[in-house]
Every structure is written in C-alpha cells, then in structure tokens.
C-alpha cells in the first residue's frame, strides 16, 4: 500500500498528515497546539 492510496480520501496531503502525527507523538501536544504549529508551517 503506497501513500497515495493510504491517504486518498483525506483533505490534506500525506506529508502534512505524517508531520502532524509525528508532532503529536513526539511532543504530546493537544489538538489546538498542533493546529497552531501547522498554521505556522504554512
């Protein structure tokens, strides 16, 4: 299974989803914190 089929029905690109998941597990952030970090990233 490749990235395009794994994230096919999601709103955001696979790279953004993977980055958000990494932030969540690495820093144990709240959903709001992750939203703020992703907004800063662009």
Give the pLDDT score at 11: 85
| pLDDT at site 3 | 61
Q: What's the pLDDT tens digit per position in 1-42?
A: 566 667 778 888 888 888 888 877 887 778 888 788 888 887
Q: How far apart are CA 16 and CA 7, in angstroms?
A: 11
Whether 5 is covered by a domain: the verdict is no
The answer to whether position 28 is within a domain reads: yes
Domain range for 33:
11-41
**22 Cβ contact partners less than 8 Å away, ≥ 6 residues apart:** none
* Residue 5, pLDDT score: 66
- For residue 12, the model assigns a pLDDT of 86
Question: How many separate domains does the chain show?
Answer: 1
What pLDDT, on a 0 to 100 scale, did the predictor assign at position 1?
54
CA within 13 Å, CB half, 17:
11
């Amino acid at each position: 299974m490749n990235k395009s089929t794994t994230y096919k029905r999601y709103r955001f690109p696979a790279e953004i989803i993977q980055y958000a998941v990494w932030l969540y597990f690495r820093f144990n952030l709240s959903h709001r914190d992750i939203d703020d970090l992703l907004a800063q990233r662009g």
